[in-house]
């Protein structure tokens, strides 16, 4: 398992971790909730600080989507705690979500977060995991590029709409240049269904293979 990145559709590996909120077991402690696990290269670094600030500013929006946040780096717990104190003192933001102290690198190796050609710190990775503990999305960034937190929030929303409505989401949803905030219907499974698709009044079509509707 070591060094193997979990694939989309696989269960998140079960692991006990130490965090700024005490011990937790992933994904067990988050059953029934979505969670976003994101790794950062190191505490007390400028780009990571801007990311934690941005995640916390949107934490309420994540929680409205039944989604929790979990940070991770190979720093120790005391480093996480001091960094969180610094962010509150200097930036006026209280980081409310837990941060995993993976100082032995065990979880980071399991998730493929340490890339030797880049360095010994974790890369900027994001794992979106659903209430059943299944990995639904994975995003990787190089150390020098900070994440777009709004895109991560959008991805969670999109996955939840897709699950509920059994649809796909277009590029830049909900602000797509062709269908705006509509969703994409799955392709028809037969010639007959393709013909019915064009005749239906429940949605709009550019062709039988490209139909969309409001939700």
How many other CB atoms are there within 10 angstroms of residue 213's CB atom? 16
How far apart are alpha carbons 163 and 13 in whole angstroms? 22
Maximum CA pair distance of the chain? 64
What is d(CA 88, CA 83) in angstroms, rounded to the nearest whole number?
Answer: 9
Q: Is 211 a catalytic residue?
A: no
- Cα pseudo-dihedral 72, 78, 83, 88, rounded to 10: 110
Measure the CA–CA gap between 152 and 62, rounded to whole angstroms.
10
From the list 48, 114, 169, 179, the catalytic residue is 48
Q: Which residues of 109-137 are buried (b: 16+ CB within 10 A; e: fewer)?
A: bbbbbbeeeeeebbbbbbbbbbeebebbb
Helix (H, G, I), strand (E, B) or coil at 178: coil
Using CA atoms, how far apart are residues 110 and 126, in angstroms rounded to an integer?
A: 14
Query: Which residues are known catalytic residues?
Result: 48
């Amino acid at each position: 398992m070591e060094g193997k990145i979990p694939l989309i559709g696989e269960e998140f590996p079960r692991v006990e971790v130490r965090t700024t909120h005490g011990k937790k077991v992933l994904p067990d402690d988050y059953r029934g909730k979505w969670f976003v696990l994101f790794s950062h290269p190191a505490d007390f670094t400028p780009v990571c600080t801007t990311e934690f600030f941005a995640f916390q500013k949107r934490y309420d929006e994540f929680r409205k989507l039944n989604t929790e946040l979990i940070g991770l780096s190979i720093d120790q717990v005391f480093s996480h705690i001091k960094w969180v104190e610094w962010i509150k003192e200097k930036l006026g933001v209280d980081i409310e979500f837990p941060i995993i102290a993976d100082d032995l690198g065990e979880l980071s190796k399991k998730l493929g977060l340490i890339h030797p050609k880049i360095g010994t710190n974790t890369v900027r990775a994001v794992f979106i995991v659903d209430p059943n503990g299944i990995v639904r999305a994975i995003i990787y960034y190089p150390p020098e590029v900070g994440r777009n937190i709004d895109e991560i929030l959008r991805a969670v929303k999109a996955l939840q709409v897709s699950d509920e409505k059994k649809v796909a989401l277009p590029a830049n949803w909900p602000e797509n240049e062709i269908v705006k905030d509509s969703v994409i219907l799955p392709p028809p499974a037969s010639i007959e269904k393709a013909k019915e698709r064009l005749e239906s009044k429940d949605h709009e079509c550019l062709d039988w293979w490209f139909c969309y509707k409001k939700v």
